[in-house]
């Protein structure tokens, strides 16, 4: 197949998943150590390695990506109402509900899919104590404007950075923003530990509080200092994460090539639009969303999705429906479609194309053929 941009073809010629024999060595060592959970050897090694790779000082590992969101709200002692986005995976809002708090939805920025800072202030009430934005698809939020608003009203900011592993703005990690950021290491993410997640904070004192909360509140063998939960990452997943971290840059580069080919070949297709990348951002290419304007494209997003699925090409309507449309939340005043016109339109048009570091040229051509 012709290599249009004169770079190497995206066809995978070497494994980008953690090699089995390398992972087996870690498993054998875990077996010999006879320590498979509770702050073990590989748990500590992975925390150190991730701090170095991500450019952060404090990180706490979790067993999945939802528990960090729940714990972050606990760690910051959030009360009352939390302003958030309806355009995300439902775990974002579920974490607010599980803490006995009220989610307040505001609309999103059509250029990024992220919470629109211009809409935040109007949603603040005397009961508001925090903002929970999401770096959607790894697109960085407008962290400076959000920080200014939070400082003006004395609010905490918790970033759901599930999609933003390794993302940087002007060379600095997006995880430095806010009071706390959370990561997901689910198997669908660019970097994963099969299941897993993490919290990033900015002080040793906060990390200690988080570590207490994720391990039942234990300070020592006989002392409990907080009503914590069990959210620890085990040694097997930590070891998997250590091996995978060695290959993450190669995986991101392979994904970049796929994403850039999608962008190049779909640029002139009538009725298909895409987010414009920012030159100051280092992306991780977690997702490649397109937006289907049915009138101009000639069929609806759902029709395109169905045709692809019928032929074994699995795209995803991510995020559809909006969180605010689900039954636990659709009775809130802030969940009304009239309050969320941009998010509603984006949810009705979005289709995330297959994007993975093991996609071949022929795989990508097959996806493109449905659209072009």
Same domain as 218, residue 182: yes
Same domain as 352, residue 231: no
Q: Tell me whether residue 3 is in a domain.
A: no
Same domain as 300, residue 204: no
**Local confidence pLDDT in tens for the 372 residues of the chain:** 233 333 333 333 333 466 788 899 999 999 999 999 999 999 999 999 999 999 999 999 999 999 999 999 999 999 999 999 999 999 999 999 999 999 999 999 999 999 999 999 999 999 999 999 999 999 999 999 999 999 999 999 999 999 999 999 999 999 999 999 999 999 999 999 999 999 999 999 999 999 999 999 999 999 999 999 999 999 999 999 999 999 999 999 999 999 999 999 999 999 999 999 999 999 999 999 999 999 999 999 999 999 999 999 999 999 999 999 999 999 999 999 999 999 999 999 999 999 999 999 999 999 999 999
Q: What is the number of structural domains in the chain?
A: 2
Q: Tell me whether residue 1 is in a domain.
A: no
Tokens of residue 80, six digits: 């009352």
Same domain as 204, residue 70: yes
Q: Tell me whether residue 11 is in a domain.
A: no
- The CATH number assigned to the domain holding 172 equals 3.40.640.10
Domain boundary among 245, 271, 301: 245
Same domain as 92, residue 226: yes
Q: What gap in Å lies between CA 263 and CA 288, rounded to an integer?
A: 9
Domain boundary among 178, 211, 245: 245
Same domain as 363, residue 282: yes
Domain boundary among 208, 223, 245: 245
Same domain as 302, residue 234: no
3-state helix, strand, coil in the chain (%, to 5): 40, 15, 45
Tokens 């703005």 found at: 169
Q: pTM of the predicted model, to two decimals?
A: 0.94
Helices (H), 34-115: 41-54, 67-75, 91-98
Residue 2 confidence (pLDDT): 31
Residue 5 confidence (pLDDT): 37
Smallest CA-to-CA distance from 134 within 190, 74, 87 is with: 87
State the residue range of the domain holding 264: 249-371
Same domain as 141, residue 170: yes
Residue 17 confidence (pLDDT): 60
Q: Tell me whether residue 345 is in a domain.
A: yes
Chain-centroid distance of CA 195 in Å reads 13
Start-to-end Cα distance in the chain:
17
Same domain as 270, residue 233: no
For 273, the 3-state DSSP assignment is: strand
Q: Judge whether 209 and 158 are in contact, CB under 8 Å.
A: no
Q: What gap in Å lies between CA 94 and CA 323, rounded to an integer?
A: 9
Same domain as 195, residue 267: no
Q: Tell me whether residue 2 is in a domain.
A: no
């Amino acid at each position: 197949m012709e290599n249009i941009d004169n770079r190497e073809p995206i066809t995978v010629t070497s494994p980008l998943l953690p090699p089995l024999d390398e992972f087996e060595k870690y498993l054998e060592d875990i077996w010999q150590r006879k320590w498979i959970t509770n702050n073990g050897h590989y748990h500590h090694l992975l925390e150190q390695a991730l701090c170095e790779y991500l450019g952060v000082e404090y990180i706490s590992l979790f067993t999945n990506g939802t528990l960090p969101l729940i714990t972050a709200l606990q760690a910051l002692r959030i009360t009352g109402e939390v302003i958030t986005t309806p355009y995300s995976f439902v775990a974002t809002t579920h974490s607010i509900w599980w803490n006995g708090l009220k989610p307040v939805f505001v609309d999103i920025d059509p250029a990024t899919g992220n919470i629109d800072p211009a809409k935040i202030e109007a949603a603040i009430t005397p009961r508001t104590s925090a903002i929970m934005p999401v770096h959607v698809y790894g697109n960085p939020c407008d962290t400076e404007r959000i920080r200014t608003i939070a400082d003006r009203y004395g609010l905490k900011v918790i970033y759901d950075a599930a999609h933003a592993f390794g993302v940087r703005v002007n060379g600095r990690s997006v995880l430095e923003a806010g009071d706390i950021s959370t990561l997901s290491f689910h198997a669908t993410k660019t970097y994963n530990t099969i299941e897993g997640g993490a919290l990033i904070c900015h002080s040793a004192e906060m990390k200690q509080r988080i570590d207490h909360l994720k391990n039942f509140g234990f300070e020592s063998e006989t002392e409990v200092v907080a009503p914590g939960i069990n959210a620890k990452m085990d040694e097997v997943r930590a070891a998997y994460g250590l091996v995978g971290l060695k290959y993450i840059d190669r995986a991101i580069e392979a994904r970049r090539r796929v994403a850039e080919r999608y962008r190049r070949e779909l640029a002139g297709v009538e009725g298909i639009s895409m987010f414009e990348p920012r030159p100051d951002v280092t992306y991780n290419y977690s997702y490649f969303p397109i937006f289907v304007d049915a009138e101009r494209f000639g069929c609806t997003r759902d029709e395109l999705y169905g045709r692809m699925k019928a032929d074994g090409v699995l795209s995803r309507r991510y995020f559809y429906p909006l969180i605010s449309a689900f039954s636990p939340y659709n009775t809130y005043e802030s969940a009304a479609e009239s309050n969320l016109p941009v998010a509603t339109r984006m949810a009705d048009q979005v289709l995330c194309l297959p994007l993975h570091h093991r996609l071949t040229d022929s795989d990508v051509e097959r996806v493109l053929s449905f659209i072009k």
